[in-house]
Amino acid sequence: MKLFIDTGNIKDIETLAAIGIIDGVTTNPSLLAKEPGDYRQNLKKICDIVKGPVSGEVVATDFAGMIREGHDIATIDPHMVIKVPLTRDGIRACKALAGEGHKVNVTLVFSAAQALLAAKAGATFVSPFVGRLDDVATNGMELIREIVDIYDNYEFKTEVLVASCRHPIHIVEAARMGADVCTCPPSVIDQLFNHPLTNIGLEKFLKDWEKAQAVKA
């Protein structure tokens, strides 16, 4: 399963990309709005760092505007993926942009029916938001199971990109269900590394080693 970082913060992306386990980046207007500087230049820097798919989202809500902004996003770098919302105009824009050979990520997906539309429109990625579903007392991971089943039934090529991940269990469950990608904020990726027994075990190994060296000296 691929792991994307869900942020527009260049420093966080540099830090995690240096470890070598990051396959791509997702951004959205809220995330990019938090960062200083020009968003196009920031997206270009992100592409140079990760050299994998980087989603940049349109803010137009009409078909013509989405196509115009989508074309502009695609000129930033060959790694750019055009992100469009799951609306009628968004699905129409997805179909048109995918038809021109662009990679499209359909975002703000909250139902299996919506995910079916994204696949039919030729999306490269579909982004169901599991955390935001959990927030309204609906099991977000159940939606992932439904989408994976439907896509498998018809061999849709669209990759299931689990978005709005809030904790490591979302990621582990997504991997067990066969989702293609998880995108997570840097804090959640950090949590994946942590286990108290690793820290305790490492501390003991190092202490034992030091003791043995002292005896030999």
Burial-class residue 59 by CB neighbours within 10 Å (0-12, 13-18, 19+).
Answer: exposed
φ, ψ of residue 159 to 5 degrees: the values are -85, 135
Residues 46-105 close enough to bind ligand E4P by CB under 6 A: none
Residues in the chain: 217
For position 114 contacting ligand E4P by CB under 6 A, the verdict is no
Whose CA is closest to 186, among 20, 14, 6?
A: 6
For position 127 contacting ligand E4P by CB under 6 A, the verdict is yes
Q: Which residues have C-beta within 8 Å of that of residue 99, sequence separation ≥ 6?
A: 122
Contact 126, 109 (CB under 8 A): yes
Considering only 70-78, 91-99, 127-135, 138-146, which stretch makes contact with ligand E4P by CB under 6 A? 127-135
CB of 28 to ligand E4P, least distance (A): 4
CB of 23 to ligand E4P, least distance (A): 14
Comparison of 119 and 130: residue with beta carbon closer to ligand E4P: 130
Q: Which residues have C-beta within 8 Å of that of residue 45, sequence separation ≥ 6?
A: 10
Q: Catalytic residue among 34, 45, 51, 83, which? A: 83
Q: Which residues have C-beta within 8 Å of that of residue 23, sequence separation ≥ 6?
A: 2, 3, 4, 50, 52, 53, 181
3-class SS at 145?
A: helix
Comparison of 49 and 210: residue with beta carbon closer to ligand E4P: 49
Residues 133-192 close enough to bind ligand E4P by CB under 6 A: 163-164, 183
Comparison of 127 and 158: residue with beta carbon closer to ligand E4P: 127
For position 110 contacting ligand E4P by CB under 6 A, the verdict is no
- The number of residues that bind ligand E4P (CB under 6 A) is 11
Whose CA is closest to 109, among 35, 187, 28?
A: 28
For position 26 contacting ligand E4P by CB under 6 A, the verdict is yes
CB of 184 to ligand E4P, least distance (A): 8
211 is known as an active-site residue: no
For position 9 contacting ligand E4P by CB under 6 A, the verdict is no
Q: Which residues bind ligand E4P (CB under 6 A)?
A: 6, 26, 28, 107, 127, 129, 131-132, 163-164, 183
Q: Which amino acids are annotated catalytic?
A: 83
